Structure 1
């Protein structure tokens, strides 16, 4: 507006000089040097104003990120489900409510009480960082995420370079990269897993524990140090290779929030893949999703192996509901969903 006003002022000034040539004026304003000086002043003012426009005249509602579109922008459909105040990760100072614990303990029939849970979590945070390592939002950056599922539709997709281009790359469970680089990429910054699906990690990847029982916290503490020798419903690794400084733990309250707000309590509880997807919405400004969806028989098959149990379907998880929500998020332009081939 400043620039436009100065342009009109300049035109008006010279229009007045030409319209009333006989009007009494000061000699300095009448001669050509005076006109040239005024013109130069106006041009200089316009240039300075233009250069300083973005830094000096920023709007009050400056975008919270440097992306073309930020997830936190006000949208009734999205904000009805998205709750930024829910902490995605546990920390040493976080106090889980007993109500949230009672919901969580039913997921896999946990027998331990709230006191045992808190003591076990406290011991874990003597071994791993007391607070999560997250990249905070900023108006000066655009945090991009790739969430890479394990669906068989990733075969021959050639999504690898696109996946590797993102800042944060989240994989889950035993998702392979070696031998499948062209389709799934090579980089991994975060891997979401639980004891029964755990794999060794390199020194730069965050281990993100998705806990479903108190034993999972105990396993992580011991698997990173002395070795775990307990038993679960399936074999678990006694020791795991991981950078202890990069360990993060999903918050049971966050898991409940995903089940209630995003899946409307459908199914017994969210899959690891869907938890990872909603986690990405909380961690990043732009989210791209790959490798989600069942095969033609309705099973969650994996791109690196042939499925043996053809009646597995999606287990205790609401696979159809999760898939429809991903499609809806894509339609609402809250993420980009690459469906594969």
Structure 2
């Protein structure tokens, strides 16, 4: 073969090869994008939407993913816990009792694999009747974090509510004797202390002391079969912020006031907590049926009727307005079956 022709062939191959490699790269990249388009288009917009949510200041909250969710014994080391308010919005007068409780339970935030996520997706599941026959279970289970409330059951309702539970907020009167029945083994049981007796109850459970059932509107469990290592105490900051910045309800009442104190529900509290900790917050099972029928069921389970809400210690109208505001601002989204 002619030497000059051979050189030309070599030079041509050197020029063509990079072009071919580039085309192959584009082809493989297109294949990757096609395979992952659903995941990418679903995740990226959600996190971008959340970026604006974090700057959302409809009620002047400073959202940060690094917010500490639970109290720990180290909060009291070398200093007095800085709280000028009593429960449920602070710890004034309960510091010593709180330290005894925290000394007997391990402290940790949610698992590290959740902490390290670039985009944390949360589902806050209310207990409303709207969940009945919703078929949202599989959608709920896809979230990184699923937050449930009180003693709402899971077993037997999986098709509608899923079976994944990362955290469950509760207080003594809403506690279940056997929380493991409707939770996963790693579920964090997050106590929301509304009053002094709530802390006394959990101390008696943890230290197996004689039970004192005075001061509860309904008897809490005297035997609690949950894993004590999974107990956490919610920081009172979230209740205070929910009341003052989201609901605009009073947090102080004169000692002889005849006005009945109101406080946030665990549901609206869980949403406010999730807005701090999660990048995407979806909700389901919130709101009450639009009906004048007082015998209409309130929850997706059990026999409670609408008339049971008449004597509620919550401002349900304020919570309904707050939910509407959060949805209109894009801070939270209502979970629905895809059309």
Query: Any unmatched runs of 5+ in structure 2?
Result: 30-42, 252-261
- Please tell me whether the aligned partners of residues 258 and 278 of structure 1 are also in contact (alpha carbons under 8 angstroms): yes
Match of residue 15 from structure 1: none
- Bigger drift between 205-214 and 182-191 goes to 182-191
When residues 282 and 49 of structure 1 are mapped into structure 2, their CA distance, relative to the original with a 3 A threshold, is same
2:271 matches 1:293: no
CA RMSD of the aligned region, Å? 3.8
Match of 1:92 among 58, 62, 73: 73
User: CA offsets per residue over residues 15-42 of structure 1, 9 Å max, x none?
Assistant: xxxxxxxxxxxx99x9464344234345
2:303 matches 1:303: no
- Please tell me whether the aligned partners of residues 227 and 238 of structure 1 are also in contact (alpha carbons under 8 angstroms): no
- Please tell me whether the aligned partners of residues 289 and 335 of structure 1 are also in contact (alpha carbons under 8 angstroms): yes
Match of 1:166 among 120, 128, 143: 143
Match of 1:248 among 232, 235, 238: 232
Distance of 1:271 and 1:133 partners within structure 2: 22
Distance of 1:237 and 1:270 partners within structure 2: 23
Query: Any unmatched runs of 5+ in structure 1?
Result: 1-26, 53-65
2:241 matches 1:257: yes
Match of residue 61 from structure 2: 81
- Bigger drift between 258-267 and 172-181 goes to 258-267
- Please tell me whether the aligned partners of residues 163 and 184 of structure 1 are also in contact (alpha carbons under 8 angstroms): yes
User: CA offsets per residue over residues 160-211 of structure 1, 9 Å max, x none?
Assistant: 2222333322211121223333322233232110011111211332111001
Distance of 1:339 and 1:47 partners within structure 2: 41
Map 1:272-283; keep pairs closer than 5 Å.
Answer: 272-283=266-277
When residues 117 and 137 of structure 1 are mapped into structure 2, their CA distance, relative to the original with a 3 A threshold, is same
Per the TM alignment, residue 279 of structure 1 is displaced from its structure 2 partner at its CA by 1.9
Structure whose alpha-carbon radius of gyration is higher: 1
When residues 37 and 177 of structure 1 are mapped into structure 2, their CA distance, relative to the original with a 3 A threshold, is closer
- Provide TM-score, normalisation by structure 2: 0.72
Match of 1:214 among 193, 196, 216: 196
3-state SS in 1 of match to 2:139: helix
- Please tell me whether the aligned partners of residues 190 and 208 of structure 1 are also in contact (alpha carbons under 8 angstroms): yes
